[in-house]
Structure 1
């Protein structure tokens, strides 16, 4: 690591802040701040969706998955694409017909503001934990490299630096700043991944794909593993990935907020479906990096290399194998992934706090200028909380990407089930939805904390969704007629009527 690498990282941080502020334009009201006035091009939203869900986990952890095992993780990406198609044609039309600004507004219109607030609060805490993991993940390679330079800088300081820069452009520019900065950031880490792969292969005397094939690492389908306990058995990975993607892209404000910023429903549908294709090839790139690293490190185990987890493999290569300047670029790419997710989370958390909680329960009406000021205060507050949350993580025994997905999946099933309950069970009322949702989240939290090896994390969303819909349906049987229409709810179409 040379001085030029530090310069590259500093330049990247400054350019990110400048670009976000430059392209955000003037924010006149809350609609501009949170959904860009519904005037964002679909291709930019598509890239932003991918950038938001990628985070630093993909960049540093996915190569480790291929290094330790194989590329069956790609099956999850196939499920992701299926889930996005469901979101495009089942959920997005409801959001656009109701002119909503958050995903949970639908639950408020269908069941009542209590369920909307419950879903929003659950989203806030889950997103805080899940993205706390992701922000911590970005600090891992920075810590390794700074330690190699003899600089004993804590994870907290590294996280704080990334956090402050991200808070700056998100606070001022809102979702427009987030989306356009995402476009830059995704380009940086993809270029970094491609450059790394080229340099690794250039240093090898063997064909890394041949070596990987000899070790069984090029396997894509897993038709033999136990589908219950193995997260990458084919049926588990595809079905689990589809449900996880349906929940994350249809019931999570983090993604829905971007899709609501598109100019039309058709644009939003294109953005979400094409993002699934882009994610597949992105996973393929970083899994291939992991296969190349397996030959680069001469098939050594993580322990033989003196490392504690597979998440350190790619960062160690960056520190030792990349020439000056390029190491800084790849590190900037990892930081870009983390900052993209953080900025997206800040915007989503503040929009949900404002629309689902403050505006619902405040006893005074705000004009546009006051509402914009409060929204920015929410952004600042959540940014500071995020930095503190990320500082709580100090390590993990499993690949950090799996930890992040597991944490998010605790509530994804319950959220998705609540949406399906509202769409399919006309008798269901707010009490039915709240009971079923609470039981589902409690069950998944118990599995995550006390029985993590009982089922693979890719089953979490399916189990939570099934509990919510099933229990909600049984609870609704005590009502003799359909739930009354909530005032302000969009009328159901013919296809939605029972």
Structure 2
């Protein structure tokens, strides 16, 4: 990192925080703080919704996912446009008609207070964990590659978000996310252009796609019915639709974005805008990862992209064994480069595939040696691929910009989460249980205090978290454990009118225990947990209502 990179990075982050505080100064009532004054235009809603979902994990993990496994991960998002249409037709009109401040407020009107509280608590648990991970994800990776201390980095990112989120609430989140998305898109497009520019002369974008295809990276669609395969078109269309319905329809961090719309139409247009752009955006980010893969076919790459892992094994008794694998890896790289520069004839493609298989086996052996050297070091390096490319190949100034992209994405997603956690705690739990009469100013102040509290909790979670197989998968797994159940509760509220609060409450408790058990035993890919949870709570609630709930006796007045 050069001085210019620090200027770009710190200047960008300071601008976002100062702009957010300045634009939302003087927020004094619940309508402004929670709903942003109900004056947000559709394009701001759309960008804010995208920024909320597109955390730093998206821009760190997704390119690494494509680097290792190809474009198939995009199938995960195929259910999103379907979910957006359903939300526009069903969820948004109901929320606006009832003029609710949170999604869970509707559940009390339809069922009872305990069902509202249960749904709110389920949201708070999963979103509170996710908020910590959205801070932790960029922090641990930046810590590893830049040598920064992890704990101060977690605290620093958390404090930046807390400042403007506590200050301006929903409006602050919305106005800053427009700037953050502009920075994010600019940075990713510049990175994509530079990757193509760095390829050898004669390797055009078309040839780069052919090279990626020869290594199996361009296999987008998988129509198999293999339940052990996490990403197929069926998991995307079925499991993905239910996950997106749950996330965008019942998660307050997203609902709060479109409740701030000027009208039902503005909210609907914002969600359709998100539905149209989200899949192409994810496709593009994955494509960046595939182009990084092509880049490293012509340039040397480490045996493991996590610098801490390499450092651990080099300073151990296993250094010689690791170096032998590294030499074999470099030999494979040289041979692949030679074959690719000679053209993609049939016999060359066959040998490239064979070399890729050999290289994967080398990397698996390397992971075992790293674990033997230090079992605490993370051997899975998917999340380190893109940041390695940025730091080792981009010119001065642009490194700072791309780091600003990563931290801005962390801030935008975390801000939405803290904003929603604070408002849900204040309105769904505190306001409904506090005794006495209080004015708007009291609940604005309580929302700010709860936002601060959740910010501190998120920082603490970030400080004790451990790196998972792939960070973007971890966030989706946490969501899938809870979202199906919450979605089922809402669908019962919308469409099954004879089911009452007691039946739904008991069914939801049973369902949550069963879903956690199914996940723990690894019976299904995590995306299917959304569908299973939704179906389970619906069936159980209907059974309990029909067979175990005594009908009220009719009282005849004389």
- Tell me if both proteins adopt one fold, taking TM over 0.5 as the criterion: yes
User: Per-residue deviation at 1:286?
Assistant: 1.0
Structure 2: 5+ residue stretches without partners: 307-378
Q: Tell me the equivalent position of 2:313.
A: none
Which string of whole-angstrom CA distances, capped at 9 and with x for unpartnered residues, describes residues 201-246 of structure 1? 11112332111111221122101350x2222111112211111110
Q: Are the aligned partners of 1:302 and 1:310 in contact in 2 as well (CA < 8 Å)?
A: no
State whether structure 2 residue 546 is matched by structure 1 residue 460. no
User: Per-residue deviation at 1:305?
Assistant: 3.5
**Residues 300 and 215 (structure 1), Cα distance of their counterparts in 2 relative to 1, 3 Å cut:** farther
| RMSD value, Cα | 1.9
Give 3-state SS (helix, strand or coil) of 1:428's partner.
Answer: coil
Which string of whole-angstrom CA distances, capped at 9 and with x for unpartnered residues, describes residues 310-345 of structure 1? 110001111111111001100100001100011101
Which string of whole-angstrom CA distances, capped at 9 and with x for unpartnered residues, describes residues 282-322 of structure 1? 10121011101111222899972453321100011111111
**Residues 80 and 300 (structure 1), Cα distance of their counterparts in 2 relative to 1, 3 Å cut:** farther
Q: Tell me the equivalent position of 2:275.
A: 276
Higher alpha-carbon deviation: 230-239 or 53-62: 230-239
User: Per-residue deviation at 1:376?
Assistant: 1.1
Q: Tell me the equivalent position of 1:94.
A: 94
Q: Are the aligned partners of 1:141 and 1:316 in contact in 2 as well (CA < 8 Å)?
A: no
State whether structure 2 residue 472 is matched by structure 1 residue 473. no
Q: Are the aligned partners of 1:208 and 1:291 in contact in 2 as well (CA < 8 Å)?
A: no
**TM-score, structure 1 length as denominator?**
0.92
Q: Tell me the equivalent position of 2:371.
A: none
Higher alpha-carbon deviation: 368-377 or 292-301: 292-301
Measure the CA separation in 1 of the matches of 2:495 and 2:533: 17
**Residues 295 and 482 (structure 1), Cα distance of their counterparts in 2 relative to 1, 3 Å cut:** farther
Measure the CA separation in 1 of the matches of 2:173 and 2:494: 31
Q: Tell me the equivalent position of 2:157.
A: 162
Measure the CA separation in 1 of the matches of 2:439 and 2:65: 50
Higher alpha-carbon deviation: 308-317 or 471-480: 471-480
Quick check: which has more Rg, 1 or 2?
Answer: 2
**TM-score, structure 2 length as denominator?**
0.82
1:305-384 alignment to 2 at 5 Å?
305-307=304-306, 308=379, 309-384=381-456
Q: Are the aligned partners of 2:61 and 2:382 in contact in 1 as well (CA < 8 Å)?
A: yes
Give 3-state SS (helix, strand or coil) of 1:426's partner.
Answer: coil
Higher alpha-carbon deviation: 73-82 or 182-191: 73-82
Q: Tell me the equivalent position of 2:290.
A: 291
Measure the CA separation in 2 of the matches of 1:414 and 1:159: 31
Q: Tell me the equivalent position of 2:317.
A: none
Q: Are the aligned partners of 1:427 and 1:482 in contact in 2 as well (CA < 8 Å)?
A: no
User: Per-residue deviation at 1:26?
Assistant: 2.3
Q: Are the aligned partners of 2:199 and 2:298 in contact in 1 as well (CA < 8 Å)?
A: no
User: Per-residue deviation at 1:10?
Assistant: 0.9
User: Per-residue deviation at 1:115?
Assistant: 0.7
Q: Tell me the equivalent position of 1:179.
A: 174
Give 3-state SS (helix, strand or coil) of 1:72's partner.
Answer: helix
Which string of whole-angstrom CA distances, capped at 9 and with x for unpartnered residues, describes residues 392-412 of structure 1? 21322x211011100111110
Give 3-state SS (helix, strand or coil) of 2:527's partner.
Answer: helix
**Residues 370 and 422 (structure 1), Cα distance of their counterparts in 2 relative to 1, 3 Å cut:** same
State whether structure 2 residue 488 is matched by structure 1 residue 417. yes
Measure the CA separation in 2 of the matches of 1:474 and 1:101: 32
**Residues 302 and 231 (structure 1), Cα distance of their counterparts in 2 relative to 1, 3 Å cut:** farther
Measure the CA separation in 2 of the matches of 1:115 and 1:459: 24
Q: Tell me the equivalent position of 2:339.
A: none
Q: Are the aligned partners of 1:231 and 1:457 in contact in 2 as well (CA < 8 Å)?
A: yes
User: Per-residue deviation at 1:121?
Assistant: 1.1
Which string of whole-angstrom CA distances, capped at 9 and with x for unpartnered residues, describes residues 450-476 of structure 1? 223x32121111111011111111111
Q: Tell me the equivalent position of 2:239.
A: 240
Measure the CA separation in 1 of the matches of 2:396 and 2:302: 27
Give 3-state SS (helix, strand or coil) of 1:46's partner.
Answer: helix
Higher alpha-carbon deviation: 401-410 or 206-215: 206-215
Give 3-state SS (helix, strand or coil) of 2:510's partner.
Answer: helix
**Residues 378 and 351 (structure 1), Cα distance of their counterparts in 2 relative to 1, 3 Å cut:** same
User: Per-residue deviation at 1:173?
Assistant: 1.0
Give 3-state SS (helix, strand or coil) of 2:220's partner.
Answer: coil
Measure the CA separation in 1 of the matches of 2:300 and 2:125: 36
User: Per-residue deviation at 1:249?
Assistant: 0.5
Q: Are the aligned partners of 2:132 and 2:457 in contact in 1 as well (CA < 8 Å)?
A: no
Structure 1: 5+ residue stretches without partners: 148-152, 485-498
Higher alpha-carbon deviation: 135-144 or 259-268: 135-144
Q: Give 1:198's match in structure 2, choosing from 185, 193, 201.
A: 193
Q: Are the aligned partners of 1:144 and 1:316 in contact in 2 as well (CA < 8 Å)?
A: no
Q: Are the aligned partners of 2:25 and 2:167 in contact in 1 as well (CA < 8 Å)?
A: no
Q: Are the aligned partners of 1:432 and 1:476 in contact in 2 as well (CA < 8 Å)?
A: yes
Deviating 4+ runs (over 4 angstroms): 299-303, 479-484
